[in-house]
């Protein structure tokens, strides 16, 4: 029998611990949130200081939401009606403080957009375990931390929408992006599974899958901390390719429009591709035979076919 279907005994003591355990958000905050709940609906966007995050926050504001955004910088000022709150998604205390701040000011969290993330362009063996851990700490565990802090609020409300920023690299392989792509594959599996767990509480989880987007994302791309000379020429080629594709990619506003569609849909889809290229890649992945897709990917990446 697969481990995921195995029967595991649970003692009464363990059950009581789970029942009595305080979440990252205090029970007192949850009790008072419903009394302070305000309209319009409230959206929380992580990583909202620039690029896709800022465009998404503005689009949600224009769609009628009261919007809170996060930035790692403690002194980041509010932007165009968006309330900015400092938050480090790798710090559980910081995340808990973020959620309590939003609840005290607005009384609810109706939409969560998990957008904060960093990149890494490197051969898989060019990164130490410490660097890989740092990448996952933001892109995967950061999403889980914020989601876990917000979920008690949404379950109490019996409504909510969690929108996780994935990528077409959560659908396809990407040479010299192995670790980054693996974080997006993780988000795909986590989001789809979580959606089934919490749908009964009136909360839905959806995925946004952009391709190349015109933003300052390359400024948040880490370099390998243990580079290997043999990989350097190809890594440089891939870096130039990434820069060129970003320059002609979709605008952040294209992705933001897709997020608003996902947030406002009465019956949301599981996945939303953002932009024509993302839609094309997803379609090719589904329809093109694996061998042909593999050959095409290597050719476009400049690798021997």
Catalytic site residue from 49, 108, 167, 191: 49
CA 101 to chain centre: 21
**Is residue 166 among the annotated active site residues?**
yes
Catalytic site residue from 108, 166, 182, 191: 166
Quote the DSSP letter at residue 90: T
**Is residue 272 among the annotated active site residues?**
no
Residue 43 neighbours by CB under 8 Å, 6+ apart: 57, 60, 65, 66, 67, 68, 109, 110, 111, 112, 113, 263
Q: Nearest Cα to 38, choosing from 14, 64, 63?
A: 64
Catalytic site residue from 65, 180, 190, 272: 180
**Is residue 158 among the annotated active site residues?**
no
CA 185 to chain centre: 11
DSSP result, 210-259: E-SBSSSGGGGEEPPSS--GGGHHHHHHHHHHHHHHHHTSB-HHHHHHHH
Catalytic site residue from 71, 127, 176, 184: 184
DSSP result, 92-114: HHHHHHHHHHHHHHHS---EEEE
Measured distance CA(80)–CA(101) in Å, rounded? 19
Q: Which residues are catalytic?
A: 49, 166, 180, 184
């Amino acid at each position: 029998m697969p481990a995921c279907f195995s029967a595991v005994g649970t003692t009464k003591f363990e059950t009581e611990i789970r029942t009595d355990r305080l979440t990252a958000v205090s029970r007192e905050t949850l009790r008072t949130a419903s009394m302070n709940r305000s309209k319009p609906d409230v959206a929380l966007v992580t990583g909202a200081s620039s690029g896709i995050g800022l465009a998404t926050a503005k689009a949600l504001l224009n769609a009628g939401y009261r919007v809170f955004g996060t930035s790692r910088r403690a002194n980041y000022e509010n932007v165009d009606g968006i309330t900015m709150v400092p938050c480090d998604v790798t710090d559980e205390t910081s995340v808990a403080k973020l959620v309590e701040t939003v609840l005290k000011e607005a009384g609810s969290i109706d939409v969560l957009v998990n957008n904060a993330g960093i990149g890494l362009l490197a051969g898989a063996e060019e990164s130490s375990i410490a660097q890989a851990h740092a990448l996952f700490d933001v892109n995967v565990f950061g999403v889980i931390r914020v989601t876990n802090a917000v979920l008690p609020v949404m379950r109490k409300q019996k409504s909510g929408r969690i929108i996780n920023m994935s990528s077409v690299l959560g659908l396809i392989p990407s040479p010299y992006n192995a670790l980054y792509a693996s974080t997006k594959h993780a988000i795909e599996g986590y989001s789809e599974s979580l959606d089934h767990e919490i749908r009964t509480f009136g909360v839905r989880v959806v995925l946004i899958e952009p391709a190349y987007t015109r933003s300052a994302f390359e400024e948040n791309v880490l370099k390998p901390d243990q580079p290997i000379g043999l990989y350097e020429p190809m890594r440089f080629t891939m870096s130039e390719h990434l820069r060129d594709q970003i320059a002609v990619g979709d605008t952040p506003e294209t992705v933001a429009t897709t997020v608003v569609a996902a947030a406002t849909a009465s019956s949301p889809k599981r996945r939303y591709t953002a932009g024509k290229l993302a839609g094309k890649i997803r379609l090719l992945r589904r329809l093109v035979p694996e061998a042909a897709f593999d050959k095409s990917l290597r050719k476009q990446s400049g690798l021997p076919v």
